[in-house]
């Protein structure tokens, strides 16, 4: 589950909404404790930039497409259509 969370976070080019993982917070919490994911005061989370690139490069094309779709769906649910299109 942590690898899935890493993949989704890597697909975000900016801060991801933390509450996306409210139904299953354990993988995200583990990544935060290991300092691979940072939190902001506005309820956002993000992979550290250097780590994001490593995760993204390591993904096969099919996984990149899957995670990009997940990130876009999250943005659309929040009315962030411009970010979702990117």
- The residue ranges of every structural domain in the chain are 2-85
Rounded mean pLDDT of 57-72?
Answer: 93
Backbone phi, psi, residue 6, to 5°: -60, -45
Local confidence band at 83 (pLDDT 50, 70, 90 cut-offs): low
For the chain, give the percent of residues with pLDDT over 70. 92
Q: Which pair of tokens denotes residue 67?
A: 């995670």
Task: Encode burial over 15-46: b for 16+ CB neighbours within 10 A, e otherwise.
Answer: ebbbebbeeeeebbeebeeeebbeeeeeeebb
């Amino acid at each position: 589950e942590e690898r899935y969370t890493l993949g989704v976070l890597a697909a975000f080019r900016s801060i991801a909404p933390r509450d996306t993982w409210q139904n299953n917070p354990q993988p995200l919490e583990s990544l935060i404790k290991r300092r691979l994911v940072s939190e902001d005061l506005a309820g956002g989370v993000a992979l550290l930039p250097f780590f994001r690139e490593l995760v993204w490069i390591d993904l096969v094309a099919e996984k990149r497409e899957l995670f990009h779709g997940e990130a876009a769906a999250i943005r659309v649910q929040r009315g962030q259509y411009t970010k979702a299109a990117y």
